[in-house]
Structure 1
Amino acid sequence: MMKRWWALAGLLLCAALPAAHAATNALQVFPFPEAMRYTHHNDDYTVKVRTPGGVWQDLYEYNVKVDLDKPVKDASMVYFNFDGAVEVSVHKNNGTFSKVAIRPDARGIKYTVKGNTVLFTLQRPDNLSVEFDGDRHHNLHLFTHAIRKDMPRSAEPVTGMSTGKGVTPDFTQPVVYFGPGLYDGEFRVRSNTRVYIDGAAVLRSPLIFDGVENVQVVSDGLFMGVSQMQIRRSRHVTIDGPIFVNQPEGTMRCINSQDLEERSIRTIGAGQWSDGLGHFACERVTIADSFIRTSDDCVTLYNHRWDIWGNTRDITVRDSTLWADVAHPVMIGIHGNTPTKDHPEPEVLERIRFSNIDVLEHDEDDPEYEGVFGIMAGDDNLVRDVVFEDIRVERIEEGMLFNLHIAYTPKYNTSPGRGIENITFRNVSFTGEGSPGASVMYGYDASRKVRNVVLDNVTVAGKKITGPAPNILNLGPFVENVTYK
């Protein structure tokens, strides 16, 4: 029965789509809700886009908050979808400039300058930062996606679909559609549901997932100023495409859940405790094609905390860009279960892989917690079988490339971690830009070690790490079997 309604929903949605999309050079821009015209705009830039040689289309430049370090700064963000190629025009409205950066640098995007306007062509969808004269706090975030073939294009309901146009859709239906408009309310998602969010929809409340399964969310739209979206005790959930800005806390927290896909998530946050994608005791999670800028950790993997218990296993993070204005791009293992009578088993985090990642920034003022890649095993956690591969780190304002240690801090822990083992860094490069300190590894005692670490083609400022060295790598006590290649 499940397969029948799922197939039927797909057929019904296809009826709402146009007959065909152009194979190449198609552009899709989204109007902003009129109620936001004067309240959410940033006038630092005028941004236009067109198919090559076509008519320029003006975009709405959203004001987004970045960097919790006081004062919080005002940056800009635009978004659109396209297939094929598009030309982008970014005009700087205030003052002149002498240099431009379009990051991540690895994209190698070429541009031309005419007066106060920068012009460049995108050959595929990407998520980028456009910066003038090194100003990373008042930059332009440019988010794009391929045109979705399965997104409804009509605000008219079809059988089996609940549609909203500024009015909360009916979540008792198997297919839920947020059409253009502003939305407030409680959006509690049910099992066996597809949720579609139009690119001209702005939600000011989070979706709620609690004890559900078989849910797919496909979004071209915007979540603005929402409290943290939570996925709790759920299975087989896909979140694809949402943009989050100006959230007061974190972006998304996943708790005791399995089989999660988090794709094309774009988030910019400057709130306190504003972790990006946080995970507690989750298994079989894939994060891909995302851009995460936060004033706390970008991606976190933890175990027990509060009323949460369990292990973390089989996590993949790939093809994404991380930018931590405050704290860490990656933080693993500090929260877990110190065994007690009621909960006697310690916990484990294992089989974790980060690949093809661009890190644009890391800034952490507390030396104990510094690290682009922080594995800090506390509360009897054992962290093992972790791979960081094909990673490019552009700048460390204050911090270090990696920090592997057994943590035991009164602020967070009730016991030290059990160990960190079988960790591989492969093809990891850091430009050396900023004010970095030396990376560190250290254990706690003879029974709680850091061991079996491989540094395979790890470079700082173009030089390969071949052993401990001043300002590059410090090895503390209770570290065993570090290999350099």
Structure 2
Amino acid sequence: MIDPPHYSIFIGQSEQIVIDNFKSFSTRGWSDGIDIMSSSEIRIRDVFMRNSDDCIAIYGSRWDFYGDTRNISVHDSILWADVAHPLMIGTHGDHERNGDVIESIVFANIYILNHHEPQENYWGALAINAGDRNKVCNVLYENIRVERIEQGQLIDVRVVYNKDYNPEPGTSIRDITFRDISYSGRANPSRIYGYDEERAVENVTFVNLRINGELMDAPRPELIDINHFAKNILFVTEKNTVV
């Protein structure tokens, strides 16, 4: 797919879809790679995408599509976002009907070649931004190598109210695992932020998070900023694991 005017692949209110061996290059504004809205049982593998916006974005309700999103997997792929996020979850949902549930998402064996986003509110090579009363849960990032961050940050997990897109803030983010994630280079500190006491981020586990060759066994504010509304954030190292 060469230079589509908007999405390369757009999936709305659908199920049982497999995308295999897909390549995409886009240059125009808001030309995402693959966007998934209110859908389930989606399998993506062996894709290469260099996109001028998000490479893969997973949402709840948007446009004319309504409902929860669940059971999405992305494997064995290479992503390059010229702006915005290589991997994004959670911005859009049905805020008028108490939001959507976005759950059971797996990203595994992925190379991210670059993340370059000048706007702070859209930083994050690996991003979960729960807005529109959405609940995001049970997400696994595994064996992901980020090669370069020109502008942005490695991880952005936030319950948000984004005035440009969200009439309401999100509800919650919980049960998120980052396993065997590696990055070498300079970047802004990653963020794990709940919105308030009632709209929190809970149960985020890092297993073998390696930054600049160092396995992290505890939070370090200069690398990961965690606010008061993020709870039970754990760092685990398995010394025999090679990343």
Contact 2:205 2:233 in 1 (8 A): yes
- Aligned-pair CA distance for 1:368: 1.8
1:346 aligns with 2:99: yes
Distance in 1 (CA, whole Å) between partners of 2:55 and 2:233 is 27
Deviation string for 1:2-26 (max 9, x for gaps)?
A: xxxxxxxxxxxxxxxxxxxxxxxxx
Deviation string for 1:220-270 (max 9, x for gaps)?
A: xxxxxxxxxxxxxxxxxxxxxxxx112222211100000000111100111
- Aligned-pair CA distance for 1:474: 0.6
Contact 1:380 1:416 in 2 (8 A): yes
Of 31, 41, 45 in structure 2, the residue corresponding to residue 284 of structure 1 is: 41
For 1:477, the equivalent position in structure 2 comes to 228
Distance in 2 (CA, whole Å) between partners of 1:421 and 1:410 is 23
Instruction: Output aligned runs, 1:302-341, within 5 Å.
Output: 302-339=59-96
Distance in 2 (CA, whole Å) between partners of 1:263 and 1:438 is 34
Contact 2:98 2:133 in 1 (8 A): no
For 2:174, the equivalent position in structure 1 comes to 421
Instruction: Output aligned runs, 1:243-392, within 5 Å.
Output: 244-339=1-96, 344-392=97-145
For 1:409, the equivalent position in structure 2 comes to 162
Residue identity matched to 1:427? D
For 1:459, the equivalent position in structure 2 comes to 210
Deviation string for 1:398-455 (max 9, x for gaps)?
A: 11111000110110001111100000000011122xx411100011111100010000
For 2:148, the equivalent position in structure 1 comes to 395
Deviation string for 1:452-481 (max 9, x for gaps)?
A: 000000111111222332431110120000
Distance in 2 (CA, whole Å) between partners of 1:296 and 1:465 is 30
Unaligned runs of 5+ in 1: 1-243
Q: Higher relative contact order at CA 8 Å, sep ≥6: structure 1 or structure 2?
A: 2
Instruction: Output aligned runs, 1:89-100, within 5 Å.
Output: none
- Aligned-pair CA distance for 1:366: 1.1
Contact 1:324 1:362 in 2 (8 A): yes
The alignment yields a C-alpha RMSD, in angstroms, of 1.0
TM-score by length of 1: 0.48
- Aligned-pair CA distance for 1:307: 2.0
Contact 2:134 2:170 in 1 (8 A): yes
- Aligned-pair CA distance for 1:353: 0.3
How many residue pairs match? The answer is 236
Deviation string for 1:168-194 (max 9, x for gaps)?
A: xxxxxxxxxxxxxxxxxxxxxxxxxxx
For 1:133, the equivalent position in structure 2 comes to none
Deviation string for 1:190-234 (max 9, x for gaps)?
A: xxxxxxxxxxxxxxxxxxxxxxxxxxxxxxxxxxxxxxxxxxxxx
- Aligned-pair CA distance for 1:345: 4.4
Instruction: Output aligned runs, 1:98-247, within 5 Å.
Output: 244-247=1-4
User: 1:264 aligns to what SS in structure 2?
Assistant: strand
Of 200, 216, 222 in structure 2, the residue corresponding to residue 449 of structure 1 is: 200
Residue identity matched to 2:155? F
For 2:241, the equivalent position in structure 1 comes to none
Distance in 2 (CA, whole Å) between partners of 1:448 and 1:371 is 20
Contact 1:390 1:428 in 2 (8 A): yes
Runs of 4+ residues deviating >3 angstroms: none
What's the % identity of the aligned pairs? 39
Larger strand proportion, structure 1 or 2? 2
Residue identity matched to 1:478? F
Larger Rg: 1
- Aligned-pair CA distance for 1:322: 0.6
Of 219, 235, 242 in structure 2, the residue corresponding to residue 468 of structure 1 is: 219
- Aligned-pair CA distance for 1:308: 1.7
Distance in 2 (CA, whole Å) between partners of 1:469 and 1:345 is 35
Distance in 1 (CA, whole Å) between partners of 2:122 and 2:157 is 10
Residue identity matched to 1:258? E
Contact 1:300 1:330 in 2 (8 A): yes
Contact 1:452 1:481 in 2 (8 A): yes
Contact 2:219 2:235 in 1 (8 A): no
Residue identity matched to 2:107? F
- Aligned-pair CA distance for 1:484: 0.5
For 1:124, the equivalent position in structure 2 comes to none
Distance in 2 (CA, whole Å) between partners of 1:272 and 1:288 is 25
Distance in 2 (CA, whole Å) between partners of 1:331 and 1:264 is 21
User: 1:265 aligns to what SS in structure 2?
Assistant: strand
Contact 1:430 1:460 in 2 (8 A): yes
For 1:27, the equivalent position in structure 2 comes to none
Distance in 2 (CA, whole Å) between partners of 1:472 and 1:463 is 12
